């Protein structure tokens, strides 16, 4: 008779199948069907992203890199050098670089929410990964419990077999002993 989700729920979770969570039921069903739970979450998440999501992720990736930081430091150095030394009297943004501050403020005002959007999506991806990891770990525990049951059954059948073999040998020894006793007493 094939094993069902209800059998496994009662055996391993000590609960009725209607009391299982959706995840537990899905994991038990995959154990019954002997199929994997693994899936490529990156491909699933990538297919769900809009163009804005991909742009925000790319901006966050570039904005959070050493290449960006060093390039921006170079840009700032060139800006300051142009306005202090090269253009001296005709500087388009003289010291204290008010226009540069305005540009930096605008970049920060736009870049910060974009990076936050990307971080929020990353948090959601992390939650999905954690949920998937939980399913995989739960299935691994179930498979380990199944292996323990099989080992216990094998051990039990070996013990029964050894007991039967010992009983058979004891019967043979008793017959031999009886034969020896009756053979000696006949002499």
* Pairwise CA distance, residues 187 & 126, whole Å: 90
What is the model's pLDDT at position 90? 82
Secondary structure E strands in the chain: none
Quick one: pLDDT band at residue 95, thresholds 50, 70, 90? Answer: confident
Please compute the mean of the pLDDT values over residues 57-76 and round it to a whole number: 90
pLDDT for position 44: 67
Q: How confident is the model at residue 123 (pLDDT cuts 50, 70, 90)?
A: very high
Which tens digits make up the pLDDT trace of 128-163?
Answer: 899 989 999 999 999 999 899 999 999 999 999 999
The pLDDT mean for the chain works out to 87
Find out whether the peptide bond into 96 is cis, omega within 30 degrees of 0: yes
Residue 165: pLDDT above 90? yes
pLDDT at 184: 64
Q: How confident is the model at residue 67 (pLDDT cuts 50, 70, 90)?
A: very high
């Amino acid at each position: 008779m094939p094993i069902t989700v209800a059998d496994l729920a009662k055996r391993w979770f000590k609960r009725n199948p209607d009391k299982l969570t959706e995840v537990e039921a899905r994991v038990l069903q995959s154990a019954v069907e002997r199929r994997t739970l693994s899936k490529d979450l990156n491909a699933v998440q990538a297919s769900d992203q809009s163009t804005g999501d991909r742009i925000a992720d790319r901006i966050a990736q570039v904005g959070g890199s050493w290449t960006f930081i060093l390039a921006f430091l170079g840009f700032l150095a060139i800006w300051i050098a142009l306005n202090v030394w090269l253009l001296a009297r005709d500087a388009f943004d003289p010291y204290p670089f008010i226009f540069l501050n305005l540009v930096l403020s605008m970049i920060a005002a736009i870049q910060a929410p974009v990076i936050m959007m990307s971080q929020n999506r990353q948090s959601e991806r992390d939650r999905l990964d954690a949920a998937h990891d939980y399913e995989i770990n739960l299935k691994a525990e179930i498979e380990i419990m199944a292996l323990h049951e099989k080992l216990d059954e094998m051990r039990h059948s070996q013990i029964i077999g050894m007991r039967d073999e010992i009983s058979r040998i004891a019967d043979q020894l008793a017959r031999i002993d009886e034969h020896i006793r009756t053979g000696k007493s006949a002499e």
